Chains A and B, each alone.
Chain A
């Protein structure tokens, strides 16, 4: 035993222990500052006798909201008003994300087209939309709406059942009928059945090599079943047609200028970024992969589905997530053009109750929840889509 125990290192010279110590110190400082800010705020609010707490949520809001997905009136509580705002934000973000994904993918693929004109047009679209601030785009679409469209009394009706005016886009919707409930039920059932067929077909193909046309069968089920139900109910075709009553259109469905302008602005702006993400993802898969896949005799759809997409998605999904988050957060620009989103409703609430700290905290919490759930979902999907190393 020639080797002696190494000399004991004092803890401040041991990099590991020192690192822990520093971390504790930093944490302590952050904690202290946080504690100081909170206690200082509470102290000052008390000193100026400004009310605190969330009890205002139960009080009557006594303000009206322009559009709402649930029944709401000025007699409802502030809490309900905020729910209306949150649903409006959710509505515009969700529809916006779906449309953005479709348009963005389309433009991204068009950008790679071998057709010179298509590729250049996609390029111009991307450059224009990316380079103009989204707030300006919102003002632009909103102004287009109220400046170029006529008043309700001189509204345009390009096709029957569709009315364009500066009060929004009103269009006919099918009048309520008992058939609809069953159609939705069978639509959902068809979706579930298709999912299981897909699983079964995949397993069978892996075992026996036999191919099953899942896509065509699935499509037939999803479209066919509701259609059959509709026919069984005697094919009700009665429509709810919008009519001008007093100041506004009654009946049918009306999309307000604020909603349409916000949706247009957000979708066009974000889809330009999504297009670039999609293009980059597809280009990241080397040419050799496609050639090899074709060489072993895969059909073009199989090349895309089995070789290109799995590898491209790996590159696409993470930046796509951040674009989706951007769209959700940018929807708060709605206050500028008068769409009653969460921020707009919260602003009014803050003003009437004067409790800005609570109001801002609610705004932050809501966007945090939306963002965290979006990224949780996308992370799950990313894991699923990631390449399995063999």
Chain B
């Protein structure tokens, strides 16, 4: 009989443990209680998210996660980074392994609906391109009939490439390798004629090639890739926080607020800036955050322009121009909704 009781107890414990997991609270409360934001990142793309030589995470996506931590905790360092492959990333978010996914992920209709996810404000506008060795002497992607193409799986890339070749009636042969590093090795060793990916990533891969000058990006951009941080369906408050954090980065640049001048800007007479930085309280409280949340973000991480130039801008090995990622006032697409 004793055994029976033990069994019954075990069943009860298992059930309690499992229902406990299923009823986990709102994301913000969980994150606050943990004292740490868990962000899913790529881990292998220079300029977006990759640990540097000292093991410190650097990149545009990493800085986005830092901004969220600064908004929530007032401390940008309270982030735990989880490196995920393209295949792992969505399930990791769905299963609550991570709080937010900042991993150059393209916003698509399927992902927002079928996969049960919400994409926040775009933090990088990208497009898929082709990288080829110069010695092939190819000028346009339309000359790629019969080419062998290295592709990373689990991305929109595979489908875009298939669509492009189909619509131009060209045959091709994909080589699909799961690990970014292995894929690049195969390409640079000549296994494929072409490497296709988001053009920012291609620029990043070229910068770490044995001889970067031997490779050239073809002019065709075959897709729209709005890359944005992602959260789960079903927690609107958390969505608002991540969404408005990215917008705050953009708005700060528009206001001309940088990490250097943010303290002076606190004394600004502009009522918009006063509301924005929490001098006039209200905005932070509405999100369930500290009223100085924007101040903390900008002071510790900087505005969008600073983040861009620091990680992928013209003075970095990637050497990307602002292009689509410039402010709307300068002809780009970065446009934040009003903070009021």
Contact = CB atoms under 8 A, between A and B. Distances in A.
A145 B175 CA distance: 14
Interface stretch (A317-325, A337-345, A382-390): A337-345
Interface residues of A, number: 54
Q: Which secondary structure dominates chain A's binding surface?
A: helix
A151 B193 CA distance: 10
Contact of B193 (A22, A247, A340, A353): A247
Given A64-B165, A146-B186, A36 B154 contact: no
Interface string A215-255: 00000000000000000000000000000011110000000
Interface in B86-144: 86-87, 90-91, 94, 110-111, 113-116
Interface string A1-27: 000000000001000000000100100
A62 B159 contact: yes
Nearest to A43: B22
Contacts of B159: 62-63, 352
Contacts of B145: 246-247
A73 B169 CA distance: 12
B266 to A, nearest CB: 41
Contact of B166 (A75, A146, A147): A75
Given A32-B11, A75-B166, A247-B147, A348 B90 contact: no
B132 to A, nearest CB: 11
A50 interface: yes
Contacts of B186: 142, 146, 338
A151 B189 CA distance: 9
Contact of A64 (B174, B190, B191): B174
A66 B173 contact: yes
Interface residues on B, range: 35 or more
A336 interface: yes
Contacts, number: 132
Contacts of B261: none
A195 to B, nearest CB: 42
Interface in A138-159: 139, 142-143, 145-147, 151
B154 A338 contact: no
A143 to B, nearest CB: 7
B14 interface: yes
A342 to B, nearest CB: 13
Contact of A146 (B115, B179, B189): B189
Contacts of A142: 186
A338 to B, nearest CB: 4
Contacts of A335: 153, 177-178
B7 A351 contact: no
Contacts of A352: 110, 158-159
B163 A351 contact: no
B155 interface: yes
Nearest to B18: A36
Given A62-B163, A348-B158, A48 B177 contact: no
A355 B189 CA distance: 35
A12 B1 contact: yes
Nearest to A145: B191
A176 interface: no
Interface in B199-251: 232-234
B87 A347 contact: yes
B15 interface: yes
B286 interface: no
Nearest to A344: B176
B87 A151 contact: no
A84 to B, nearest CB: 13
B162 A336 contact: no
Given A62-B162, A151-B190, A338-B183, 13 more contacts: A36-B15, A48-B233, A49-B116, A51-B114, A66-B175, A246-B145, A247-B148, A336-B179, A337-B177, A350-B154, A355-B114, A356-B90, A356-B91
